[in-house]
Amino acid sequence: MNKVVREHYPVEKLPDDLREGFPAGAKVTVTLEDDAMSADLFKQQVDEILRNPKPMTLTEARALVGERGTTAEEAVQRIRSLRDEWDA
C-alpha cells in the first residue's frame, strides 16, 4: 500500500474542493493513500470470516476478493491452452 504524508502543507496549494472550511494562510497535514486493500486489512477480513463463518453469495465473495483484471474468456483460454499442451 502506498502512503504519502505532507505536514504543514499550505492550504493555498490544495485544490478548491479541499480548501473549503480552512482559513487562508492555514497549514494542514495531507495524507494520501491508494485505494487498494492492504495486506493487513485483507488478513483481518479473512480472519473475521473464519471466526464467524456464514454463507455468502457469489457477488459478496467477488466483492471481497476485488477486481482481478481477467475476463472469463481470458481465463477459459488460459485453461484450454494448459489442457491442450498435453495433447501435442
Query: What type of residue sits at position 84?
Result: D
Query: Who has greater pLDDT, 34 or 43?
Result: 43
Angle, vertex CA 70, rays to CA 66 and CA 74, nearest 5: 155
**What is the rounded CA–CA span in Å between residue 73 and residue 70?**
8
SS3 of residue 44 by DSSP: helix
Q: DSSP letter string over 68-84?
A: -S--HHHHHHHHHHHHH
- Is the predicted pLDDT of residue 13 greater than 80, yes or no? yes
pLDDT for 77 equals 93
d(CA 37, CA 74): 24
pLDDT value of residue 3: 82
